[in-house]
Amino acid sequence: MAMRFLLTSAGVKNDSIRNALVELLGKPIAESTALCIPTAQYGHPSVGPGAGPWRFISGNSDLPMVELGWKSMGVLELTALPSIDAERWVPKVRETDALLVAGGDALYLCHWMRQSGLADMLPSLDSVWVGLSAGSMVVTPRIGADFVEWQSPTGDDRTLGIVDFSIFPHLDHPKLPENSMADAERWAADLGAPAYAIDDETAIKVADGAVDVVTEGHWKLFPR
């Protein structure tokens, strides 16, 4: 079985998304192990080190990921991995059922996924990637100029390209007036590739090449 993806805007916010997660895991959350990855938060100017990563890791966020009742939980900090022997962390990644990936800055996360070697491992993992905002966007081909904050060494907005569509998260969020449907349409027009705009009650499930939208909110697909 290859890696599966649950790409959310704001975590496991409703029963539909939670049911999709259980389906991808193939067993209850209470019987599944997980590692959480807070790295993206450090690169975002409005989050950075401090309270944000702690809330995510400790399950005290309003974006449900860590606090879902996992059998076990650990932390995988990507910025530390290049200084650690691979045999100390690679087996832990290979044996875990789910990787829970925080939001923040997608380009910063992408950089450290490559630097750490985690990006190269993904095709061979039998686990579920549960992304939150930037943690979802990082597996797409591009994030679009609107979401560029941290300047990647590549000098552009390219990310890992594991899936073949881009994601505009937090659609119509009341605290993000720049995330309207009109903004999403303009963003998508610049990409030249398929893209989804999703609100915080929506996720995109990817398994065995099939892409399904899981939602109790609203979303829109912008074709190529």
**pLDDT of 150:** 84
Structure tokens of 209? 């090449």
Q: Mean pLDDT in the chain?
A: 94
Q: Of 21-35, 49-63, 148-162, 166-180, which has the strongest mean pLDDT?
A: 21-35
| pTM of the entire predicted model | 0.96
**pLDDT of 1:** 64
Q: The domain containing residue 85 runs over which residues? A: 4-222
**pLDDT of 45:** 72
The CATH number of whichever domain residue 50 belongs to comes to 3.40.50.880
How many domains is the chain built from? 1
Q: Tell me the pLDDT tens digit for each residue of 61-74.
A: 889 999 999 999 99
Q: What average pLDDT does the segment 99-109 reach?
A: 97
**pLDDT of 143:** 97
Is 11:65 a contact under the CB 8 Å cutoff? yes
**pLDDT of 2:** 85
Q: Tell me the pLDDT tens digit for each residue of 114-139.
A: 999 999 999 999 999 999 999 999 99
Reply yes or no on whether the pLDDT at 48 is more than 70: no
